[in-house]
Amino acid sequence: MNMSIKSVILWPRNRMLPPRRVDFLPGVVNVISGGSRTGKSAIIPIIDYCLGADKCTIPVTTIRDATEWFGILIKTDQGEKLFARREPGAQRSTNDMFVLEADEVVLPDRIKDKNATAESLKTQLDDLAGLTSLDFDIEASGSGFKGRPSFRDTVAFCFQPQSIVANPNTLFYKSESYEHREKLRIIFPYVLGAVTPALLAKQHELSDIRQALRRKLQELANIRDVSQKFVAQMKSDLNRAMEFGFISQVEIEVADQTTGLQLLRKVVRENQNQLKMATTGSTIGSSADELVELRETEAQTSSKLAQLRQRFLEMTELRRNAGEYRTALHLQRDRLGIAEWLRKKSDLDRDCPVCGNHMSQQEEQLEELLKSLESIENAATQFEVVPASFDREYQRVRRELDLVTESLSGTQLRLRELRDLSENQRKRQYTELSASRFVGRLEANLRVLESVGQDSELQNEIDKLQKMVSELEREVDSRAIRERLTRALANVSSIAARYLPQLDAERPYDAVDMSINDLTVKVRSVDREDYLWEIGSGSNWLSYHLAMTLALQLFFIAMGDSAVPSLLIYDQPSQVYFPQRVTLKDDQPDEPEFTDEDVVAVRKVFAALQNATIESKKALQVIVLDHAAEDVWGSVPGVHLVEEWRSGEKLVPMNWLV
């Protein structure tokens, strides 16, 4: 993937200040030289963060406190692209991104707000790299490490931070974590071209066809099992057919397996249509329709009868209660009749008819009794007769009740008659249905039996799928993939072998191999193989790191369509040679050129890097972040000094910290 870093940009929190821009050249070795704590080791985390890293590893305090947005300007075959990402504050990262694209991007002085997300950026980078959308989980095992390759996976081949560049145990960026290490092992054949997107698609297709073939084979096995059971019970089926009158006893006695099958086919052929018609005529006749209709009428009539009965009972209860009430009123009136008698007696002589005393003092009580008697007599007179409208409604309900009861009895009588009349019909129907089911089952089993033949549709489908599997297996032959992978690794090893003699390695002419399983380098001598961690000395570790990462990049570039960015960034490659005291001192600007063997070794590093950019025909961009000053590597032709961060010059300008 043709991609180079054109600039790293920092936008300050103080919006009165201009952004900080560090520019790089494509196709050469770019060097930022400087002392400790100047921000050199922040360059890789800044670039990684702006390329969609899951978390921000940019050093806290000075750099992050002073910066609001981090950005990189990259150059690709599709033009220039600015990827800027907001400083995450107290979070691990932020999803806020700002993206600009143009033939030549004009950097903004300020970024007001986001216009993209980290997730959308990852998708854009995947498309830019031309990565396949298929995953490596061919057998659908659900393994999280076998997901589709992403641009984020490829940066493992681009970054060599200070903790890795001379590490005996870790060769690639972030491969010290189990998750990244497993994913890197899986994608290695893909990035080396041993597994192409087209081949990956065929692997998925082969897996799908194999699954379909297994289902079809299981279906055929089930059919064969059914057919074998059918043949085993053929004698029983022949006897059953004889019971229904389809064949004769004589035909069964002379039948072998072949003629028995012919007889059963004859039963199906001659009886299936006739039985269907008979069954239809007996089950869907007018009597069945009438039976259903009568049952509905019975339910409706029963409901209406229940309502009428309830109303009639309520009205009868009302008539009875009215009579009892009227009788009670007459009884009270008769009991109070003595008051009238006393009045009449008092009008004659004013003396009590019983004791003979004078009654003037009891006149008031007598008047109250007379008023009560009058009230009861008036009530009895008003309730003497039930209204005629009530009697008419009572008689109407009674007549309707009789009519509905009679209608229900008629409906139930007709239902009994239909059930009696259809008893024989139901018996005949049961026999016809049993025969129909027998013939239907026989027909289905014969069809299954015929499908087992070599010319059957299912067998043809299986033959077709088996042919497709054979063709795809030849195309995705695992041995061919291993051979392509072996050739690719051999090519990488040969390139690394050319660069080792240019570096400070103790065994520059021993063969070197890339071990995918262990993600490290193996050095082969005549009688043994040694892993990188088994070889001592920081200079050896650095040399093998450089040789292998350069070899891989040159191999990717030679592929022409690799998804790996043509970019290598090394942080402090000279650390194995130079202690911090060897950097230029502020009071010694004219420090003389070093002549010891360590200086020679560091110059070999820069010379090998420059030779790689030349071999790549300027397609490879190398960025080196190092303590070593220009007088150490300045004599190497073609190496470009980007900036020197000494005497107060740093990644973050001093006026940002005021």
User: pLDDT per residue over 89-99, tens digit each?
Assistant: 888 889 999 99
Q: Which long-range contacts link 241-250 to residues 24+ away (Cβ below 8 Å)?
A: 241/267, 241/438, 241/442, 244/434, 244/435, 244/438, 246/270, 246/271
Whole-number pLDDT of residue 551 = 96
374 pLDDT above the threshold of 70:
no
555 and 450 in a common domain: no
Do the beta carbons of residue 172 and residue 187 sit within 8 Å?
no
Structure tokens at 14: 């103080």
On whether residue 131 sits in a domain, the answer given is yes
Task: Please tell me the distance from the alpha carbon of residue 463 to that of residue 477, in angstroms, as a whole number.
Answer: 21
- 357-391 burial, b at 16+ Cβ within 10 Å, e below that, comes to eebeeeeeeeeebeeebeebbeebeeeeeeeeeee
445 pLDDT above the threshold of 70:
no
Whole-number pLDDT of residue 281 = 46
Decide which of 251 and 162 is more confident: 162
296 and 278 in a common domain: no
The answer to which of 579-588, 598-607, 625-634 has the lowest mean pLDDT is 579-588
Decide which of 621 and 289 is more confident: 621
Whole-number pLDDT of residue 369 = 66
Tell me how many domains the chain contains: 3
Decide the pairing of beta strands 567-571 and 159-160. Answer: parallel
441 and 354 in a common domain: no
Decide which of 321 and 620 is more confident: 620
79 and 163 in a common domain: yes
pLDDT digits (tens, 9 = 90+) for 309-365: 888 788 888 878 877 777 776 776 666 565 566 566 655 455 565 566 655 556 666
Best-predicted range by mean pLDDT (370-379, 386-395, 398-407, 517-526): 517-526
149 and 28 in a common domain: yes
240 and 94 in a common domain: no
On whether residue 420 sits in a domain, the answer given is no
451 pLDDT above the threshold of 80:
no
Whole-number pLDDT of residue 247 = 73
Closest CA to 197 of 117, 131, 296, 269: 131
73 and 17 in a common domain: yes
On whether residue 82 sits in a domain, the answer given is yes
522 pLDDT above the threshold of 70:
yes
Q: Which domain holds residue 453?
A: 204-284+427-460
Decide the pairing of beta strands 567-571 and 621-626. Answer: parallel
pTM of structure: 0.65
pLDDT digits (tens, 9 = 90+) for 95-120: 999 999 999 999 999 999 999 999 99
**pLDDT band at residue 595, thresholds of 50, 70 and 90?**
very low
340 and 245 in a common domain: no
Closest CA to 485 of 154, 189, 157, 185: 189
Question: Helix (H) and strand (E) counts for the chain?
Answer: 19, 14
233 and 366 in a common domain: no
521 and 509 in a common domain: yes
The answer to which of 260-274, 302-316, 350-364, 429-443 has the lowest mean pLDDT is 350-364
Instruction: Identify the burial level of 511 via C-beta atoms within 10 angstroms of its C-beta, where 0-12 means exposed, 13-18 middle and 19 or more buried.
Output: middle
Q: What is the mean pLDDT of the chain?
A: 81
Structure tokens at 640: 């470009």
282 pLDDT above the threshold of 60:
no
